[in-house]
A and B are shown apart, each in its own frame.
Chain A
Amino acid sequence: MATVAGTPATAPVAAPPKSHGLTERARAERKLGLMLVMPSVVVMILVAGFPILYAIWLSLHRADLRFPNLTAWIGLDNYISVLSSHTWWSDFFNTVIITVFSVALELVLGLLIAEAMYRALYARTWIRVAVLVPYGAVTVVSAFAWSLAFNPATGFATQWLGLTTPPLTTRAGSFAVIILSDVWKTTPFISLLMLGALALVPEDLYKAAKVDGATAWQRFWRITIPLIKPALAIAVLFRVLDAFRIYDSVYIITNGSNNTASVSLLGYQVLIGRLDLGLGSAIAVLIFLCVCIIAVVFFRFLGASPQRR
C-alpha cells in the first residue's frame, strides 16, 4: 500500500522563525489536520476498534442469548472449550488447506496471466476488461457458478471431466470446488499487481542477461522474481489474510458439509446459529489473533512492509 513513513514533509512555506513552541500558523494547521481526520478516525474506532474489544469482553463471559440470565464472568473457559474441541482444530486445518492451495495457485496463475498481459501485442484493453470481470464479480456469484457447474443435476462439469463421483459429495472434491471458485475470483487482483510490478523491470536487464547466455528460465528466476519481490510479498500477504477469513464461498458451496467448514464459518455457526456469543466471540478473537500473527510474520520475515519506500 501507499507510503506511510515517507509522507512528504509539507512544511509551511516561509514559516516565521519559531519563538516558543509552535507558531500561530503551525498550530492552526495542526488543528485543521486533526479536524479533517477526525470523522474517519471516529468511524474506524466505533465500528472496528470497539467491536473487537467487545468481542474480547464477550469471550471472557458466559453469554448465551438463549439463556441471558446466566451471563457471568468465566475467565478463559470459552477459550479452553474452543482449543480443546476437535471441531476448532479440524476447521482450522481446513482453513489452512484452502489458504495454502488457493494462494499458491493464484500466485502461479497470476504471474502467468500478468506475463501474458504484459507481452500481449493486441487486444490489451479487452484482456484488461476480461480480467476485471472476476475481480468485480460477487464472491457469492462465483461460488454459485462453480458449485452449479459441478453439480450433476444442474451442471456440465462432471460429464465433461468424466467424473464418476460428483465432486461435491466428497471432501477432496468439495475443497477443489471451493479453491477453484476462490482462485477464479481473486487471481486477477494478483495479476494486476504483478503487471504493475513487471512494467517496472528494465527491459535492458533481460537483454543483457540474454547476451550473457541466460535461458528464459534463468532470466525469470534471477531477474524478474527478485525485482518484483516487494510487490509479490504484499500481494501474497493480502491474499493470505483474505483467504484465511474465507466465509462466503464455503457457506454457499458446502455450508461446512463433508468436513470443509472454515474457521469463519464455525464462528458464524456458533455466534448466529447457536446464539452463543461467549463461545462464538472466543472463536472470533482466536481468528483475529491468527490474522495478527500472519501479518507480523510477513512484516518481520518476508519484508512485506507497506511502510517501506
Chain B
Amino acid sequence: MESENTPARKTLWGLAVIAVLVYALFPVVWIISLSLKTPESIGDGSFLPTHWTTSNYSAVFNTDFFPPALRNSIGIALITTLLALAFASAAAYAITRLDFPGKTLILAGALAVTMFPAISIVGGLYNVWRNVGLFDTWPGLILPYLTFSLPLCIYILSAFFREIPWDLEKAAQMDGATPLQAFRRVILPLAMPGVFTAGILAFIAAWNDFLYANVLTTSNAARTAPVAMAYFTGASQFQQPAGAIAAGAVVVTVPILIMVLIFQRRIVSGLTAGAVKG
C-alpha cells in the first residue's frame, strides 16, 4: 500500500486511530473521573470532576467487605491459573507429543466444556457444595473456574507446543546433556512464552467471573471483588453509592491494566494462537 500513503489517507487513518483510542478508553476515563468526584458533585452531570476527592477510595478500603474480597479475588485467580497451567501443560504435552488413543475426544470435550453455560453448571454445584462443605470456600470457586481456564490453557498450550522444534531436545542429548538438562535448558525456555500467555488469559478470565462467585459465596470467606462491588448498591438507601462503586471498579481494573500494559504482545498472540493460525 506504499503508493497509497497520500497525506489525505494518512490523516484519515490517523483519525481512525484516535477514534479507536477514544472508544477503548472513554468508559475507563469516565469511571476514574466518577471515582474522584465528591458526593455533592456526583449528580452535576459533568464528565470530569469539578470538585476532586480521594475519599471514595478510603471509603472503599474502610468497608469490612471490600478488602477481604480483593484478597479472595487475587488468591483464587492466582491458584486457578497455576492449577490450570499445571494440568493443561501435561495434557497439551501429551496431545502434541505422544501417541495415545482418545486425543481427538479430549480436545473436542475441552471445546464442548468451554461452551457449557455457567448457569447450567452452577445450580448443581450449589447443592453439592453445601453438602460437602465447599460452599463459600476458595476451592469451591477454584474448581468451577477450572472448567473455563483448563480448556483455554489446553488449546493455547497445544498451539504453542506444536511450534516448538522438539528435535533440539534430542540434539542436546546427543551433545551429552541428560534428559533433565535437555528439558530444562532447551525445551523449557522455548515453552515458557506459551505457558505465560495461557496463564495471563486464564487469570483474566478467572478475575472476570461474576456468576459462580455470586452463587457460590456468601461471606468474606470467599466473596470476590466483582460481587462485593454489587454490594455497594444496597449499602445505604439515602446516599448514592456511585462514588464508592466507581472507586471499587477502578481498584478492580488496575491489576488488569498493568498486565495489559506489560504483556500486550503475549495477550494478542494468545488470543489469536488458536483461532487464526489453526
A268 and B121 CA atoms in complex are apart in Å by 11
Residues of B within 8 A of A148 (CB): 31, 34, 242, 245-246
A37 and B96 CA atoms in complex are apart in Å by 11
Residue of A7, A39, A133 near B90 (CB, 8 A) is A39
* Inter-chain contact A120/B95, CB cutoff 8 Å: no
A302 at interface by CB-CB < 8 Å: no
Residues of A within 8 A of B1 (CB): 119, 203, 206
B98 at interface by CB-CB < 8 Å: yes
Given A37-B95, A39-B87, A192-B271, answer yes or no on A136-B121 (Cβ-Cβ < 8 Å).
Answer: no
* Inter-chain contact A139/B210, CB cutoff 8 Å: yes
In the complex formed, the residue of A with least CB distance to B273 is A2
Residues of A within 8 A of B246 (CB): 144, 148
* Inter-chain contact B143/A141, CB cutoff 8 Å: no
Residues of A within 8 A of B54 (CB): none
Question: Within the complex, what minimum Cβ distance (angstroms) separates B118 from chain A?
Answer: 7
Question: Within the complex, what minimum Cβ distance (angstroms) separates B152 from chain A?
Answer: 10
Residues of A within 8 A of B46 (CB): 156
Residue of A123, A156, A247 near B211 (CB, 8 A) is A247
Given A119-B1, A120-B16, answer yes or no on A138-B253 (Cβ-Cβ < 8 Å).
Answer: yes
Q: Of residues 107 to 157 in A, which have CB atoms within 8 Å of B's CB atoms?
A: 112-113, 115-117, 119-123, 125-142, 144-146, 148-149, 151-156
Most chain A beta-carbon contacts within 10 A, residue among B21, B27, B30, B45: B27
* Inter-chain contact B106/A47, CB cutoff 8 Å: no
Size category, A interface: 35 or more
A116 and B154 CA atoms in complex are apart in Å by 32
Question: Within the complex, what minimum Cβ distance (angstroms) separates A276 from chain B?
Answer: 10
* Contact digits for B42-80, partner A, Cβ 8 Å, 1 yes 0 no: 110111000000000000000000000000000000000
In the complex formed, the residue of A with least CB distance to B94 is A36
Question: Within the complex, what minimum Cβ distance (angstroms) separates B1 from chain A?
Answer: 7
Given A11-B99, A203-B1, answer yes or no on A40-B24 (Cβ-Cβ < 8 Å).
Answer: no
B190 at interface by CB-CB < 8 Å: no
Q: Of residues 210 to 233 in B, which have CB atoms within 8 Å of A's CB atoms?
A: 210-211, 214-215, 226, 229-230
A-B residue pairs, 10 tightest by C-beta = A33-B100, A196-B276, A51-B124, A36-B94, A54-B124, A33-B98, A196-B272, A116-B16, A136-B256, A309-B278
Residues in A lying within 8 Å of B, measured CB to CB: 1-5, 7-12, 26, 29-34, 36-37, 39-41, 43-44, 46-52, 54-55, 58, 65, 112-113, 115-117, 119-123, 125-142, 144-146, 148-149, 151-156, 158-160, 184, 188-189, 192-193, 195-197, 200, 203, 206, 231, 234-235, 241, 244-245, 247-248, 251-252, 263-264, 267-268, 271-272, 277, 280-281, 283-285, 287-288, 291-292, 295, 306-309
List 12 A-B residue pairs with CB atoms under 8 Å apart, sorted by A's residue number: A1-B111, A26-B99, A29-B100, A47-B125, A52-B121, A52-B124, A133-B24, A145-B30, A152-B45, A196-B275, A206-B1, A252-B230
